[in-house]
């Protein structure tokens, strides 16, 4: 498991770096946070404005980013889950149960990310039906909430694991 955890961690870093490079094409006055601005454009009704400002190169970069994100949304939730399970084994039983629950919840972030991406692809394709931009933003909120919760849980659980000896299970 240790090797797999490290492989997932390195893959997460590499894909994050690649997504960051692609994102440079998407940053501008209408989308200061690049793809993240686009993820929430349904709440501000600025999707068309962003897409128009990006032009064809930006639109292709957004599609590339979303395509690569389909690989990423498998890798990063697994990485978070395995890291949380690893640290859970080093905690007292009561806290370990909570951390394990968050570990499995981390997997849901990938599902939310996939639904979000589908909505954003529909927006890029000009599909105005079903208010895809709003749904993409809603699933982005779910995804980011889970990711933040998982990362904070990991940090605090790791720090606690360094302070307290493990109880007998």
* Residue 56 belongs to a domain: yes
Q: How many domains does the chain have?
A: 1
Closest to 69 measured CA to CA, from 29, 38, 32, 42: 38
Residue 166 lies in a domain: no
What letters, b where the CB count within 10 A reaches 16 and e where it falls short, cover 105-116? Answer: bbeebbebbbbb
Q: Is residue 6 part of a domain?
A: yes
HSE at residue 25, side-chain half, CA atoms within 13 A, is 17
Q: Give dist(CA 77, CA 106) in Å, integer.
A: 6
> Per the domain annotation, does 169 fall within a domain?
no
Query: pLDDT band for position 169 (50/70/90)?
Result: low
What pLDDT, in 10s, does the model give residues 130-150? 899 999 999 999 999 999 999
What mean pLDDT value characterizes the chain? 94
Pull the structure tokens for residue 3.
């090797």
Looking at the domain assignment, is residue 60 inside a domain? yes
Residue at 99 is within a domain: yes
Q: Which two tokens stand for residue 42?
A: 């349904």
Give pTM, 2 decimals: 0.91
Distance of CA 113 to the CA centre of its chain: 6
Give the domain extent around 82. 2-161
């Amino acid at each position: 498991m240790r090797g797999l955890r490290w492989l997932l961690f390195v893959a997460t870093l590499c894909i994050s770096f690649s997504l960051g490079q692609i994102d440079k094409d998407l940053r501008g006055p209408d989308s200061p946070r690049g793809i993240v601005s686009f993820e929430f454009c349904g709440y501000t009704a600025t999707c068309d404005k962003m897409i128009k400002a990006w032009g064809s190169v930006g639109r292709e970069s957004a599609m590339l980013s979303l395509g690569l994100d389909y690989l990423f949304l498998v890798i990063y939730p697994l990485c978070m889950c395995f890291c949380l399970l690893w640290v859970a084994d080093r905690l007292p039983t009561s806290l370990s149960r909570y951390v394990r629950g968050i570990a499995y919840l981390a997997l849901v972030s990938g599902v939310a990310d996939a639904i979000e991406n589908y909505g954003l692809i529909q927006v890029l394709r000009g599909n105005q039906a079903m208010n895809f931009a709003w749904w993409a933003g809603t699933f982005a909120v779910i995804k980011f909430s889970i990711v933040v919760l998982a990362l904070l849980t990991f940090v605090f659980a790791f720090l606690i694991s360094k302070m307290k000896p493990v109880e007998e299970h």
